[in-house]
Amino acid sequence: MRPPRLRANQDGLLMDTAGRVVEGCTSNLFLVENGHLVTPDLGVAGVSGIMRGRVIEYGRQHGLACAVKHVYPDQLVRAQEVFLTNAVFGILLVRSIDAHSYRIDPVTLRLLDALCQGVYFTERSLHQVSTHAGQDP
């Protein structure tokens, strides 16, 4: 299975040898399942970024727990929200993966607002991208 990639943008999604989604090329992945944050377990592969840690920490402090577990491609289709994090760009909203579109819903907006109200950033920067598996940019 070929990993999903961003089309005409700067990041893609990486998978480990077991077919689990691990992270973006330059970012960490989060998804929202039933109103709860999920981020891939990086025990086998991947880098735990600064912003990933801050999002997890913020969530714990504000009643928004984050499950760290294996993430498979089919979970991305079932997720209500998907976003990437990086210390440079903050939170990058994923608008679609292949034909599946995502909403910008309360969990992601709550994190964006908190992180951009001077907690970690001074300006609100809202990025939106689409991903496409198996297609060249």
Report whether 91 contacts 115 (CB < 8 A).
yes
In tens digits, the chain (137 residues) has pLDDT values of 555 544 445 467 899 999 999 998 889 999 999 889 999 999 888 889 888 998 998 888 888 889 999 999 999 989 999 999 988 888 888 888 877 888 877 888 888 887 776 555 433 444 444 444 444 44
Class of domain 4-133: alpha beta
What pTM, to 2 d.p., does this model score? Answer: 0.78
**Locus of tokens 């608008």:** 95
